[in-house]
Amino acid sequence: MSPRRIDLVVFDLGRVMIRLCDGWKHACERAGVPYRPGLDTHERRDQLLHLMFLNETGKLDHADWSRATAELVGMQPGHVSAILDAWLDGPFPGWDGLLDRIEQAGIRTACLSNTNGVHWEMMTRGDGPHRLPLHRLNYQFASHIIGAHKPDPAIYRHVEEATGVTPSAILFFDDVAANVEGARRRGWEGQTIEHPGDPVAQITESLRQYGVLK
């Protein structure tokens, strides 16, 4: 493991701090919306991912995304919105304790997520079941606000400029290998969270190996 000094630890959110549905069928079940066969075909999935990319980079607002997605999949916009609301499946346990330990070590923290305005609101506001302790992080970075999407180099550069931290002193955790590789190309340290598994336990062990935690 690298002996480099770590000054900033950055966390993805989905499947790192919060559970997500396992695809459209699972989300439809949670939302109480009939599942339409064909939603998970490669062609349809690519089209849906493109619309989500536009939404997650702030180029398509929620109403326009709902209408376009509903037209693509043959659903009502309200059903599509319900599916989006159901996509978050609750926080992983143990985050408050881990953040306590990182704070005690004197290390700054941040999140960096490909997300949308609806999910961001659910994760950051109020006392709902999907609220994360993001207020405890020193920085909060979201793709729909920045206008860039992991693994675009621009989103990592934004974090570097906003925090003033040297790339080699940033340690990043994400469940998508391509996003971790994108961070490494910027000079960051990076670790991929494996699933199924306990993200907090994986991160804790990695932080020990990097010397952030004892």
pLDDT in tens, 127-167: 889 999 999 999 999 999 999 999 999 999 999 999 999 99
Report the pLDDT value the prediction gives residue 153, as an integer from 0 to 100.
98
Are the CB atoms for 123 and 131 separated by under 8 Å? yes
Backbone angle region of 203, left / alpha / beta, with phi > 0 → left and psi within -120 to 50 → alpha: alpha
Using a 10 angstrom Cβ sphere, with 0-12 exposed, 13-18 middle and 19 or more buried, the burial of residue 151 is buried
Cα atoms in the 13 Å half-sphere on the side-chain side of 75: 23
Q: What is the pLDDT of residue 1?
A: 47
Q: Tell me, what amino acid is at 138?
A: N
Residues 68 and 72: their CA atoms lie apart, in Å, by 6
Asked whether residue 37 carries a pLDDT value surpassing 90, the answer given is: no
At 4, list the tokens: 């480099």
